């Protein structure tokens, strides 16, 4: 067996010079310190994205993206297609875990200030991918064309429509008309399976190339060569095998979730039916939704909702461009403000999400 | 004897008082002297007997001898009241409890109020007055007590009084073109109408069911003949054993009806589509349905059952034996929900009343077969339903099977109807369809439940494999790192 593998490896190596790549990876080191565990979340996010691509393609073989057939095709997938239930459930669960892993990855990079020079582009591509992940979630949520998805999309696009000036055109663009209809479904389907994956793949390529090129970010003052006990670990095979081990655990977790908590399909959407009580967005939008619910209708002369949306927009932009205004971290200095802002954001998101579920 | 002399004394006093009163009533004196018709008629009027002067209704001063002075508008003379003024004039006394008490009347004082809110209190086509005034039914100047046989509203005369308008098609269509005008003809064919025609004032006439002043449309929930109120209206006489004495019919119909499937639907569930008394007996032509016509009467709602029965072998057999059709098995007023216990050959089954194994083996066999098949279908449907519920509770997608299960349920309902064909082949066809669907659904339900456990086992196996691979990976990492550590030590 070993002989056979060596034979195949030599055959490929002869043609594409794999040895160079192994040598490159063998020279790449991962710092070992008390926050090293957060490095794994980038890999977990990547793994979950790969699962999304694979299960998404499998679902695409049966899914029909039209108002009349979308719901029925999912029903067919989960009841008639062999292991269709598993693929659909894994796709739905992996989508949520993907957003969660990406969020943890983003916050860990933020608190480690790993975005600082020279990794600004890595941070920017990561942030763009995170926004795309939210877009994947929002567009994919409508695809089963069930009651909950229909009204959640209605509410979600309504919120987008509130933005002054550009809100109305955005709403019309997202819905492909005045209301959420079959045209919206087709549009969301197109975004979900073609536009977003295309952009995401390009961004992911840049992100991964940069990570490989620049190596893992080290914390402030980390220096393994000074004999102070600080260590590193070869990326290949040590870190990669650990990554693989974690991926296996995540895969098992997904299987458990899919079997014990199969993703429900609910009732088919009916545009003429009254909105069901307690419509809630996906958990990752909950803190924004809850904020807009709690904000007063009028603040001074402006609509509370408009102020809320503009504030979230500004906070998102500030967050995204943190490498460019956090000069201290780039210079290797400590910046406590960044930590306070990050802690505030985490606490705010957690509290508002909990409030969204209990209120 | 004492009471008689007191009564004579009272009558004499009233007459004397009336005589004195009218001797002073110049209106009456002059108009009577002139041979005026109203004045002549008024002598018989109950109001005359009560000493009510002409001026009470027409206004003016009845004490004045001069015509101009007596009929001077300044004295309140209004002449002949017209339109709604007629009823208002009556209401000045009849809606005033104090006045009526002074006149020694025990009549209710709500007639005018009731009339206003009744179907007759609506605006007439002229747009100037209500459709009906008091005088329309009670007449004028010769009004007598309703108990007086000469009164137009006396039970034996009331029908004709109502008919004056209600049998006039050209008049009635100006108000309600869809309202029939043959009520009188139908009434005369009814038991009530026949007795009324023979001079029985106790037999129900129009007002007995519709009310008098408070008549409302049959569609009005407050109407005495509104579907949900009708059983109580009929039972006001028919459940009164004292009143019904002499008619030789039972008085427990309402009690039985209230407990029946129809009564519960109508009176408890307020389903006005459920039959009230009139739906089976007719309303104006009310009469118990004849033995041969029962299936036709029940068939107005239970059409399929009636059709199947009419073409079944039971039709002829029932007619020959003078057995009331549906009633023989289901009863009449006390019809309970038709359950499968009626079918079969057990002691409580109705089939066994006529079909015994010795005397009628064919009917006995068919009855037993029908019951067995219906039981099998019910059992199979319940099993399938249980499996589908179980699969659904376990989170399996079984909506299609659940939808299909309706066909089995439908077949079971159809089989209950198909029983009335009393035809083995027809019945078997319907039940077999249900059995096939129920079996299919049951198989699908079981497959879904099995699939659930398969998923659990599959997960167990997958977890085991992943765990083994994970442990191997972990051991591999340790081995590699141990090797790296050794080679590092050697290098140092």
Q: Which of A201-205, A354-358, B31-35 reaches the highest mean pLDDT?
A: A201-205
- The partner residue sitting opposite A241, judged by closest CB among B455, B458, B473, is B473
By C-alpha distance, which of B12, B212, B466 is closest to A253? Answer: B466
Q: How confident is the model at residue B325 (pLDDT cuts 50, 70, 90)?
A: confident
The least confident of A29-38, A347-356, B426-435 is A29-38
CA distance B469 to chain A (A): 8
Please report which confidence band the pLDDT of residue B11 belongs to, taking 50, 70 and 90 as the band edges. very low
Q: Inter-chain contact B400–A248, Cβ cutoff 8 Å?
A: no
Q: Do B463 and A256 touch (CB under 8 A)?
A: yes
Question: Does the residue A122 lie in any domain?
Answer: yes
Contact B395 A75 (CB under 8 A): no
Q: Is residue A40 part of a domain?
A: yes
**How far is the C-alpha of A235 from the C-alpha of A27, rounded, in Å?**
8
A330 inside domain: no
Domain that holds residue A232: 24-272
Q: Extract the tokens encoding B183.
A: 């009520």
**C-alpha distance from B382 to closest chain A C-alpha (Å):** 22
- CB burial of A205-229 (b: ≥16 within 10 Å; e: otherwise) equals ebbeebbeeeebbbeeeeeeeeeee
**CA–CA min distance B391, chain A (Å):** 12
Cβ neighbours, 10 Å, residue A43: 19
From residue B281, alpha-carbon distances to B32, B255, B285, B289, B461 in Å are 52, 17, 8, 6, 72
Residue A265 lies in a domain: yes
Helices vs. strands in chain A: H and E counts, helices first: 16, 4
Nearest residue in chain B measured CA to CA from A81: B397
Question: Quick one: which H or E segment has residue B452?
Answer: helix B424-491
CA distance B381 to B406: 10
For B31-73, what is each residue's pLDDT tens digit?
888 888 998 899 889 999 888 989 999 999 888 888 888 898 8
Residues of chain B with Cβ-Cβ distance to A250 below 8 Å are: none
Do B98 and B114 contact (CB within 8 A), yes or no? no
Residue of chain A with shortest Cα separation from B476: A241
- Alpha carbon A69 to chain centroid distance? 28
Query: What is the per-residue pLDDT for A260?
Result: 93
Cross-chain residue pair A245–B473, CB shorter than 8 Å: yes
CB contact under 8 A, B463 and A252: yes
CB pair distance less than 8 Å for B470 and A245: yes
Mutant choice from A22, A73, A79, A80 vs B, greatest count of B C-beta within 10 A: A79
Give CA–CA dist A123/B111, Å, rounded: 90
Let me know if residue A212 belongs to a domain.
yes
pLDDT tens digits along B79-133: 899 999 999 999 999 999 999 999 888 899 999 999 999 999 999 988 899 999 9
* Mean pLDDT of the residues in chain B: 90
Whole-number pLDDT of residue B18: 47
Retrieve residue A261's tokens.
């908590």
User: Which H or E run includes A32?
Assistant: strand A29-32
ipTM of the assembly? Answer: 0.87
Considering chain A, what percentage of its residues have pLDDT values greater than 90?
70
For residue A89, what is the domain's CATH number?
1.20.810.10
The closest of A109, A91, A79, A110 to A48, measured between CA atoms, is A91
Q: How far apart are CA B5 and CA A321, in angstroms?
A: 118
Q: What is the 3-state secondary structure (H, E, C) of B114-183?
A: HHHHCHHHCECCCCCCECCCHHHHHCCCCCCCCCCCCCCCCHHHHHHHHHHHHCCHHHHCCCCCCCCCCH
Global confidence as pTM:
0.69
The total of structural domains in chain A comes to: 1
A47 in a structural domain = yes
Residue A118: cis peptide before it, omega within 30 degrees of 0:
yes
Cα–Cα–Cα angle for A148, A152, A155, nearest 5°? 145
What residues of B are in contact with residue A246 (Cβ under 8 Å)? none
If you search the block for the tokens 């290949």, which residue do you land on?
A236
Q: Do A245 and B399 touch (CB under 8 A)?
A: no
Of A12-21, A79-88, B468-477, which range is least confident? A12-21
Domains (ranges, CATH) in chain B?
Answer: 146-252 (no CATH), 361-452 (1.20.140)
Q: Considering CB atoms only, which of A79, A238, A265 is closest to B480?
A: A238
Distant-in-sequence, close-in-space partners of B399: CB < 8 Å, separation ≥ 6? A75, A79
Tell me whether residue A215 is in a domain. Answer: yes
CB contact under 8 A, A241 and B480: yes
Residue A12 lies in a domain: no
Checking if the pLDDT of A61 tops 90, the result is yes
Q: For residue B428, give the nearest of B382, B379, B366 by alpha carbon.
A: B366
């Amino acid at each position: 067996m070993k002989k056979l593998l060596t034979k195949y490896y030599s055959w490929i190596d002869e043609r594409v010079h794999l040895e160079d790549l192994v040598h490159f990876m063998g020279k790449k080191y991962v710092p070992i310190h008390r926050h090293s565990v957060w490095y794994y979340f980038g890999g977990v996010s990547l793994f979950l994205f790969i699962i999304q691509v694979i299960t998404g393609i499998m679902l695409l073989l049966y899914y029909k993206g039209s108002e009349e057939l979308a719901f029925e095709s999912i029903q067919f997938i989960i009841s008639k297609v062999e292991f269709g239930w598993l693929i659909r459930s894994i796709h739905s669960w992996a989508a949520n875990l993907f957003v969660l892993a990406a969020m943890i990855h983003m916050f860990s990079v933020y608190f480690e200030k790993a975005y600082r020079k020279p990794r600004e582009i890595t941070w920017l591509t990561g942030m763009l991918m995170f926004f795309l992940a939210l877009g994947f979630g929002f567009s994919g949520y409508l695809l089963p064309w069930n009651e909950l998805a229909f009204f959640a999309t209605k509410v979600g696009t309504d919120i987008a429509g509130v933005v002054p000036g550009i809100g109305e055109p955005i709403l019309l663009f997202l819905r492909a008309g005045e209301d959420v209809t079959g045209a919206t479904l087709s549009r969301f389907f197109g975004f979900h399976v073609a536009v977003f994956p295309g952009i995401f793949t390009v961004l992911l390529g840049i992100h991964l190339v940069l990570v490989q090129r620049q190596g893992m970010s080290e914390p402030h003052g980390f220096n393994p060569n000074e004999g102070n006990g600080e260590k590193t670990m070869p990326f290949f095979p040590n870190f990669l095998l650990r990554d693989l081990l974690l991926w296996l655990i995540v895969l098992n977790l997904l299987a458990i979730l899919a079997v014990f908590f199969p993703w429900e399909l609910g009732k088919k959407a009916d545009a003429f039916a009254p909105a069901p009580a307690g419509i809630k967005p996906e958990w990752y939008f909950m803190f924004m939704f809850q904020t807009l619910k709690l904000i007063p209708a009028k603040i001074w002369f402006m609509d509370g909702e408009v102020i809320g949306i503009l504030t979230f927009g500004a906070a998102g932009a500030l967050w995204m461009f943190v490498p460019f205004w956090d000069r201290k971290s780039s210079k290797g200095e400590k910046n406590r403000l960044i930590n306070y802002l990050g802690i505030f954001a985490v606490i705010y998101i957690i509290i508002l999400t909990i409030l969204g579920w209990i209120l | 004897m004492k009471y008689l002399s007191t009564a004579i004394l009272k009558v004499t006093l009233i007459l004397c008082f009336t005589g004195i009163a009218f001797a002073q009533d110049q209106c009456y004196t002059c108009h009577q002297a002139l041979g005026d018709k109203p004045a002549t008629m008024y002598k018989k009027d109950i109001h005359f007997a009560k000493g009510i002067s002409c001026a009470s209704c027409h206004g003016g001063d009845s004490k004045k001898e001069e015509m101009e002075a007596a009929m001077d508008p300044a004295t309140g003379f209004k002449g002949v009241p017209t339109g709604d003024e007629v009823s208002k004039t009556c209401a000045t006394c009849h809606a005033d409890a104090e006045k009526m008490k002074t006149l020694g009347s025990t009549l209710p004082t709500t007639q005018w109020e009731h009339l206003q809110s009744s179907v007759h209190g609506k605006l007439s086509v002229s747009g100037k007055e209500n459709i009906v005034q008091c005088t329309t039914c009670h007449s004028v100047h010769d009004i007598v007590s309703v108990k007086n046989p000469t009164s137009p509203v006396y039970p034996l005369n009331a029908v004709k009084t109502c008919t004056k308008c209600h049998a006039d098609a050209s008049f009635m269509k100006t108000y309600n073109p869809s309202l029939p005008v043959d009520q009188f003809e139908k009434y005369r064919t009814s038991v009530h109408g026949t007795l009324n025609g023979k001079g029985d004032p106790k037999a129900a006439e129009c007002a007995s069911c519709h009310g008098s002043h408070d008549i409302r449309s049959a569609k009005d929930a407050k109407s005495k003949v509104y579907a949900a109120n009708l059983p109580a209206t009929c039972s006001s006489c028919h459940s009164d054993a004292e009143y019904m004495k002499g008619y030789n019919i039972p008085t427990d119909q309402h009690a039985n009806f209230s407990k029946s499937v129809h009564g519960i639907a109508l009176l408890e569930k307020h389903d006005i589509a459920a039959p009230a008394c009139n739906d089976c007996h007719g309303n104006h032509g009310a009469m118990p349905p004849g033995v041969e016509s029962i299936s036709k009467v029940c068939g107005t709602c239970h059409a399929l059952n009636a059709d199947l029965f009419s073409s079944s072998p039971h039709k002829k057999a029932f007619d020959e034996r003078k057995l009331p059709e549906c009633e023989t098995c289901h009863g009449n007023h006390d019809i309970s929900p038709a359950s499968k216990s009626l079918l079969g050959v057990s002691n409580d089954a109705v089939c066994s009343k006529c079909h015994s194994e010795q005397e009628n083996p064919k009917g006995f066999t068919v009855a037993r077969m029908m019951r067995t098949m219906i039981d099998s279908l019910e059992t199979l449907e319940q099993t399938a339903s249980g499996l589908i519920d179980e699969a659904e509770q376990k989170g399996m997608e079984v909506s299609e099977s659940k939808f299909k299960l309706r066909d089995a349920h439908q077949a079971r309902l159809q089989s209950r109807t198909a029983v009335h064909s009393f035809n083995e082949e027809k019945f078997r066809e319907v039940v077999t369809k249900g059995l096939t669907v129920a079996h299919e659904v049951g198989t699908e339900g079981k497959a879904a439940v099995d699939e659930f456990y398969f998923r659990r086992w599959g997960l167990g196996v997958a977890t085991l494999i992943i765990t083994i691979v994970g442990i191997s990976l972990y051991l591999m990492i340790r081995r590699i790192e141990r090797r790296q550590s050794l080679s590092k030590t050697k290098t140092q």
